[in-house]
Amino acid sequence: MADPKRPKHYTRLTELFPDVLAAHENLGTTIRNAGPIEPKTIELIQLAAAASTGSEGSVHSHTRRALQQGASHEEIYHTLLLLISTIGFPRVAAAVSWAQDIMD
C-alpha cells in the first residue's frame, strides 16, 4: 500500500527499484545519526540545501520533516531568508512559496 506521506513519484521509484531506495534511505538515516546535530537543525539544513537546488519536492519534504521535528514557521522562514544573499531573492521567494504549501 502506498504511503500517503510520500509523493507518488517516490512511491513508484520504490516499487521499481526497492533495493536502491532502501539503500538510499539507510544512507540518510546513517548520516543523520553520525554526528551531534539535533534532528530539527538537520532538517533546516536540508531545507536550505533543497531551496538552493530549486527542488520543490525536497522543499516540501524537508519543510514537513522540520515541522515534525518541532521547527516553528518562523524558523522555517528564517532558514530560507538567510539564503537571499547566497542564492538570490527569486529562488528564495519560490522556496518560501513551496514551504507555505506545507505550512498552510
- Mark whether 86 and 46 lie in a shared domain: yes
Distance of CA 91 to the CA centre of its chain: 15
**Range(s) of the domain holding residue 103:** 39-104
Residue 47 lies in a domain: yes
C-alpha cell at 42: 538537520
Categorize the per-residue pLDDT at 85 as very low, low, confident or very high, splitting at 50, 70 and 90.
very high
- Mark whether 11 and 62 lie in a shared domain: no
pLDDT on residue 6: 77
How many structural domains are present in the chain?
A: 2
- Mark whether 70 and 57 lie in a shared domain: yes
Closest CA to 63 of 82, 76, 75, 74: 76
Q: Summarize pLDDT for 33-80 with one digit per residue, the tens.
A: 999 999 999 999 999 999 999 999 999 999 999 999 999 999 999 999
Residue 2 lies in a domain: no
- Mark whether 60 and 12 lie in a shared domain: no
Report yes or no on whether pTM surpasses 0.85. Answer: yes
Residue 91 lies in a domain: yes
**Residue 21 reports pLDDT greater than 70:** yes
Q: Please report where in the chains the cell 528564495 appears, as a residue.
A: 92
pLDDT on residue 3: 64
CA torsion sign for 9, 30, 53, 5 is positive
